[in-house]
């Protein structure tokens, strides 16, 4: 197993994004790469794909709940300039990078998987539009430019991708697969941290280390609910403080209101994506208690026991025989001012 120190260092260099599409890696061979480096990157790949599969299932299963939809074909992608200059040689040797953007993984059962797309292929074009070239800006600029290109394509039409591996191109047609515009990103660190900024959902790798996929889905559904309910925008409009005073007074009250609202919507997100929402009740009654962070945390979040209670109440209020997918009345609050 790669050391935690090495894992953190490589993860800082390469942050893959599990988006409505996905990003990936490509091997050329020929370079002698340390076994620990390869093992570290393969460990990161497994984590990225695992989170991607959970996020993809939620994003596509709840597409009817989202006004802002994008092609959610089930790829995990990254770009060569997400690596530092002294790491790019190793990255090319392990993952290929025949172009600036490559496929790290493919979500099983996704539209991309059904089209025959495989890990370790590079992306040449999308609907005959060339992918962005690395401009040296570094970090995630090239990756995000590719995601913008993909998101600009029609959600209700097939996508034509040109892929390259070992210098040979092939064309694939991916069937339509609309999903909510949200991107799922794994970040390093031993703390149990999760956040949503209106577009991205980020969770720490500690969740994958400590919880099952079903349990991680509870956390991801909660964060996706924040994005669907436009909580960041609504909190900003309410003039709340995100600094040292976020836990106090009106700030803490409004933060807690959005956290409770996200828990309630997560019931429907899980159900629409094929999970039993009772998972969320059991999570907050048991393993989720590890996430609670003391007195200040409790000012912005209900206690785990209260969260389990709120979720159970929402499940009980679900209409008998409600269809799947189901649009709850809670969505009417997407643009309601927070007071």
Q: What residues does each domain of the chain span?
A: 4-180, 189-333
**How far lies 34's CA from each of 85, 86, 105, 125, 153, in Å?**
17, 14, 22, 32, 40
The token pair that represents 189 in the structure block = 């660190």
Whether residue 302 contacts residue 308, with contact meaning beta carbons closer than 8 Å, is answered with no
- pLDDT band at residue 12 under the 50/70/90 scheme: very low
pLDDT over threshold 80, residue 28: no
Domain at 4-180: CATH architecture: Roll (2.30)
Separation CA 100–CA 105 (nearest Å)? 16
Instruction: Dump pLDDT digits (tens) for 130-167.
Output: 998 766 555 678 888 999 999 999 999 999 999 999 99
**pLDDT above 70: percentage of residues in the chain:** 85
**How far lies 276's CA from each of 16, 202, 229, 279, 282, in Å?**
29, 23, 21, 6, 11
- pLDDT band at residue 95 under the 50/70/90 scheme: confident
Closest by CA position to 226, among listed 66, 77, 56: 66
pLDDT over threshold 70, residue 291: yes
Instruction: Dump pLDDT digits (tens) for 170-217.
Output: 999 999 999 999 999 998 888 899 999 999 999 999 999 999 999 999
Closest by CA position to 28, among listed 101, 91, 96: 96
pLDDT over threshold 50, residue 255: yes
| pLDDT given for residue 135 in this prediction | 65
| pLDDT given for residue 55 in this prediction | 98
Token pair 């890990």 is found at: 119
């Amino acid at each position: 197993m790669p050391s935690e120190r090495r894992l953190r260092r490589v993860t800082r260099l390469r942050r893959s994004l599990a988006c409505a599409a996905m990003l990936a890696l490509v091997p050329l061979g020929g370079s002698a790469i340390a076994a620990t480096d390869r093992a570290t990157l393969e460990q990161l790949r497994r984590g990225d794909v695992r989170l991607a599969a959970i996020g993809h299932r939620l994003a596509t299963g709840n597409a009817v709940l989202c006004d802002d939809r994008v092609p959610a074909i089930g790829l995990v992608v990254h770009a060569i300039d997400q690596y530092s200059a002294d790491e790019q040689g190793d990255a090319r040797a392990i993952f290929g990078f025949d172009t600036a953007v490559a496929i790290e993984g493919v979500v099983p059962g996704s539209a991309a998987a059904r089209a025959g797309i495989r890990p370790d292929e590079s992306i040449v074009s999308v609907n005959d539009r060339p992918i962005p070239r690395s401009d040296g800006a570094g970090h995630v600029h090239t990756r995000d430019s590719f995601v913008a290109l993909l998101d600009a394509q029609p959600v209700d039409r097939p996508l034509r991708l040109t892929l390259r591996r070992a210098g040979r191109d092939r064309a694939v047609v991916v069937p339509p697969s609309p999903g909510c515009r949200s991107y799922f990103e794994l970040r390093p660190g031993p703390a149990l941290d999760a956040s949503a900024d209106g577009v991205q959902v980020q969770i720490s790798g500690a969740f994958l280390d400590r919880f099952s996929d079903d349990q991680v889905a509870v956390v991801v559904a909660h964060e996706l609910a924040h994005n669907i309910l436009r909580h960041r925008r609504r909190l900003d409009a309410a003039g709340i403080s995100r600094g040292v005073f976020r836990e106090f007074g009106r700030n803490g009250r409004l933060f807690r209101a959005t956290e409770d609202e996200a828990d309630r919507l997560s019931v429907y997100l899980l159900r629409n994506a094929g999970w039993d929402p009772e998972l969320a009740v059991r999570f907050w009654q048991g393993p989720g208690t590890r996430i609670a962070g003391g007195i200040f945390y409790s000012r912005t979040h209900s206690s785990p026991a209260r969260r389990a209670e709120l979720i159970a109440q929402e499940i009980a209020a679900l209409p008998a025989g409600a269809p799947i997918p189901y649009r709850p009345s809670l969505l009417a609050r997407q643009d309601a001012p927070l007071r």
